Every structure is written in structure tokens, then in C-alpha cells.
Amino acid sequence: MKDHRHADPRATLKAYIAKHGLKTSRQRELIAEVFFSSTGHLSVDELLERVRAQDARVGQATVYRTMKLLAEIGLAGARQFGDGHTRYEPLQAAEHHDHLICTSCGRIVEFHNTQIEELQARVAKQHGFVVTHHKMELYGMCADCRRK
């Protein structure tokens, strides 16, 4: 069963393309489809790999351009965890979440905490800010790595 709390990003993309006089293309649709149906935090290379599994002729630049487009539209969020690769994750399709990152094995766990977000809004307000979005990353060691 699909989650319909939010609009289908595919439809949002189509609407944006129509509204801005852009055009759809085989590659763009494939990249978007692979991206939207993925979980997690894909680098461009990882995404390209999955895309090429279905169509080997897709170029790297097209993936970069498509992800930039999706990020502009707000359908993809860029993240930099410090390994030198920009990673993208679907935004609209899922609840907002933050990240727990194991500095030993690199595992990434997502979480979401409403209390923290309330506090964030409060802190921001104290400084005169209205927050539109945030990024929070907790770095540490996961249970598995600690066991060793």
C-alpha cells in the first residue's frame, strides 16, 4: 500500500515541467523514477549506476542536471555528510527526518523527533528567525561497532 500523505512527486514534477515550458524525456523520467522509488541518500554515482542498470546510455551529466532540477523544485534535498560526495534524498515522499551516522562503519539511521523540532523553532524565534528547514546530524558509534 502506498503512502498518500503527500502528493506524488511524479505529478509535482510533471506539473512543474508543464508550467515552465520544459520537456519530459526518457532519461529524466527514468532518473526521477529511480530516485523517487529509492530510500536513503544516494550519491550521483550510485544513482547513475542504478539508472544505467535500466538504460546504459544515460550520461552522468544528465543525472547531475536532473538532480539539480529536482532540488530546485523541492523534490530532492542535498546532503553533505563529509565524504566529499553530495547525496540526495527524496523530500516530499517521506516525512522529514534527521540522521544518525556511525563514524566507525558509516551506517546511516534516520530518525524524527517532534520535541526537538519544537525546541528548534523556539530557539530560532528567540533570535528573530523563522525556520523553513533544518539539518541535524548526530555522529557516534552504533551498537554493533561498540561491541567490537
Note the residues at the interface with a copy of itself (CB under 8 A): 78, 80, 82, 100, 102-103, 109, 111, 113, 115-116, 119-120, 123-124, 126-144, 146
Tell me which residue of 98, 32, 92, 40 sits closest to 68, measured CA to CA.
32
Catalog residues that contact DNA under the rule CB under 7 A. Answer: 17, 21-28, 43-45, 57-62, 64-66, 68, 84-86
User: Of DNA, a copy of itself, none, which one does residue 53 interact with (CB within 5 to 8 Å by kind)?
Assistant: none
- Cα separation, 3 vs 17, in Å, equals 24
Q: How far is the CB of 123 from DNA (least distance, A)?
A: 28
Smaller CB separation from DNA, 56 or 130: 56
Q: 11 — phi, psi (to 5°)?
A: -70, -40
Q: 58 — phi, psi (to 5°)?
A: -75, 135
Q: 81 — phi, psi (to 5°)?
A: -95, 5
Smaller CB separation from a copy of itself, 56 or 95: 95
SS3 for 6?
A: coil
Residue type, 100: L
Q: How far is the CB of 140 from a copy of itself (least distance, A)?
A: 4
Q: How far is the CB of 60 from a copy of itself (least distance, A)?
A: 19
Q: How far is the CB of 57 from a copy of itself (least distance, A)?
A: 30
The rounded radius of gyration (Å) of the Cα atoms in the chain is 17
User: Of a copy of itself, DNA, none, which one does residue 100 interact with (CB within 5 to 8 Å by kind)?
Assistant: a copy of itself
Smaller CB separation from a copy of itself, 17 or 78: 78
- Cα separation, 124 vs 104, in Å, equals 32
